[in-house]
Amino acid sequence: MRTLQGVSITYHLDTTSSVVIESAVRTKPRTDQRNTGEETIIESRHWDWLIDPDGLYLENQRIIPAIGHFIVTGTDRFNLRPRGSSEDCWRYSDGFKTFVRIYCEEVDA
């Protein structure tokens, strides 16, 4: 049985189509902050969201995460983005396809 103890998010396909997902988990970025010297700090705004794939449906159609989609929680917005050199913005969390891991970048709303 899959369960996530997370927060409620709204997954947007565009500005008019969205679905509320009751429980999603935002992971910590690989590097929160990095000091590059001379008081310059770079703060990562890249996050992964874990979502139960059974929640990614809109009008009985499976949602495949894609660039252009975005996630909103409270006043925070996260745009889906490719991970590294890959064109994909998501993958399954493991070989059992337990959760969908979505790559995002936090943007100013």
Q: What is the per-residue pLDDT across 68-96, written as a single tens digit (0 to 9) for each?
A: 999 999 889 999 999 878 789 999 999 99
Instruction: Tell me if the pTM is above 0.75.
Output: yes
43-49 long-range contacts, CB within 8 A, separation 24+: 45/105, 45/106, 45/107, 46/81, 46/103, 46/104, 46/105, 46/106, 47/78, 47/103, 47/104, 47/105, 47/106, 48/101, 48/102, 48/103, 48/104, 49/9, 49/24, 49/25, 49/78, 49/101, 49/102, 49/104
Q: Give the pLDDT confidence score for residue 50 in this predicted structure.
A: 95
Q: What is the pLDDT of residue 30?
A: 57
Residue ranges in the chain whose pLDDT is less than 70: 1-4, 29-44, 109
pLDDT of residue 86: 79
The pLDDT, as a whole number, for residue 6 is 87
